[in-house]
């Protein structure tokens, strides 16, 4: 299981997602260009000392990410408010990459077209969207639950 962030533009959310991925044993792909300096203090503050515990692969752009993903294999599962299926309705696979779009703009049409699955998180109809860090945690939680990924993690503090 992997988490991919498409051109993230809020360092606090990126740091929180990287911390979540570290705790869940999930690698993170950062697809550039990024809207902030990756050494940003707020990114480090949100990620705390967990950033050294997560595998982070930076891709200069979408083309570089797609080349790496294709070589690695697995489906691309895009989280989008335009998804037609709920994230609890699809069958996740351990080889999936969960993709989250930019906080300010989502992903462009060519990224939507490249996704193998486009899913949404069910929520109250009158509201627009969840914070991306929360959405990522919900998606990863369901994906790991379905693929028994939690069984690989320890439940005891070090």
- The residue extents of the domains of the chain are 2-152
What proportion of the chain, given as a percentage, has pLDDT over 90? 73
Helix (H) and strand (E) counts in the chain: 5, 7
pLDDT digits over 8-35, tens only? Answer: 999 889 999 999 999 999 999 999 999 8
66 or 48: whose pLDDT is higher?
66
User: Are β-strands 117-120 and 76-79 bridged in parallel, bridged antiparallel, or unpaired?
Assistant: parallel
Domain 2-152 superfamily per CATH: SPOUT methyltransferase, trefoil knot domain (3.40.1280.10)
Indicate if the alpha-carbon torsion angle 56, 53, 9, 44 is positive or negative. negative
Please give the pLDDT value at position 48: 74
For 50-56, what is the mean pLDDT?
A: 87
58 or 46: whose pLDDT is higher?
58
114-127 burial, b at 16+ Cβ within 10 Å, e below that, comes to bbebbbbbeeeeee
For 86-105, what is the mean pLDDT?
A: 95
Please give the pLDDT value at position 116: 97
d(CA 118, CA 138): 15
Query: Is 118's pLDDT higher than 90?
Result: yes
For 96-104, what is the mean pLDDT?
A: 95
81 or 107: whose pLDDT is higher?
107
pLDDT digits over 36-48, tens only? Answer: 777 767 767 766 7
Residue 136 binned pLDDT confidence (cut-offs 50, 70, 90)? very high
């Amino acid at each position: 299981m992997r988490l991919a962030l498409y051109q993230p533009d809020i360092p606090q959310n990126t740091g929180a997602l990287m911390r979540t991925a570290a705790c869940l044993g999930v690698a993170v792909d950062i697809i550039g260009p990024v809207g902030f300096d990756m050494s940003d203090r707020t990114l480090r503050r949100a990620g705390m000392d967990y950033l050294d515990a997560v595998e982070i692969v930076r891709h200069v752009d979408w083309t570089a990410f797609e080349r790496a993903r294709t070589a690695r294999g697995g489906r691309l599962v895009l989280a989008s408010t335009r998804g037609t299926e709920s994230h609890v309705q699809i069958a996740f696979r351990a080889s999936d990459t969960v993709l989250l779009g930019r906080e300010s703009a989502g992903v462009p049409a060519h990224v939507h077209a490249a996704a193998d699955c486009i899913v949404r998180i069910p929520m109250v109809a009158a509201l627009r969207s969840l914070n991306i860090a929360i959405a990522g945690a919900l998606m990863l939680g369901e994906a790991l639950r379905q693929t028994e990924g939690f069984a690989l993690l320890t439940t005891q503090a070090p």
